[in-house]
Chain A
């Protein structure tokens, strides 16, 4: 079936380095994508979103890239900080338009 998945379950980076978290999707009809950050014991927190009419979108220290040709989504975090340690999820809108499909998540660990 169509699904959203992540390439790496865990990612370890040093403080100050840039982080890149990748996500592959299989539904070519998806036109809306979101990245979430989830800290332990808390609900997911919205980071940034992008629609299919865009290739790139920037926020504060974060950039989302969308490559529709290969159905790939990435989240770049600049100057990664210890507070960025969390699980990151990508999500795509579903055909019905009412709900999102979430990937399994990537755990980001920032080391000093």
Chain B
């Protein structure tokens, strides 16, 4: 069966520090991968998605970036975090764009 792992579960970072969140998927090949951000009490905002190794589509301009160095690995990064980057970050995978997306347990990021 397929599983998705995100880490860390919680993270507290100072303003201006770098960020690296990692997501890996097991049990499937060539998945679509997604990064979302969810503000408290709000819906999910798509940040990035990838349909293959090295391919990244960005949905909103921001100081975040994503990379897919391996087929089942998706990384969310920032060189300098802003206060507005606080939120709940979720990684997801799907077989194709019109199949269910399956989410990890998320990372709660707090910027101080």
Contacts and interface: CB of A to CB of B under 8 A. Distances in A.
Interface of A: 31-32, 34, 41-46, 49, 89, 93-94, 96-100, 102-105
Contacts, number: 50
B49 A98 contact: yes
B46 A99 contact: yes
Interface in B56-112: 57, 59, 90, 92, 96-98, 100-106, 108
B27 interface: no
A28 to B, nearest CB: 16
A38 B6 CA distance: 17
Which DSSP category, helix, strand, loop or mixed, fits chain A's interface?
loop
B103 A45 contact: yes
A51 B106 CA distance: 28
Nearest to B46: A99
Nearest to B96: A97
26 contacts: A32-B98, A34-B100, A42-B106, A43-B92, A43-B103, A43-B104, A43-B105, A43-B106, A44-B90, A44-B103, A46-B100, A46-B102, A93-B98, A94-B97, A97-B96, A97-B97, A97-B98, A98-B49, A98-B57, A99-B34, A99-B46, A99-B49, A100-B101, A102-B43, A104-B42, A105-B42
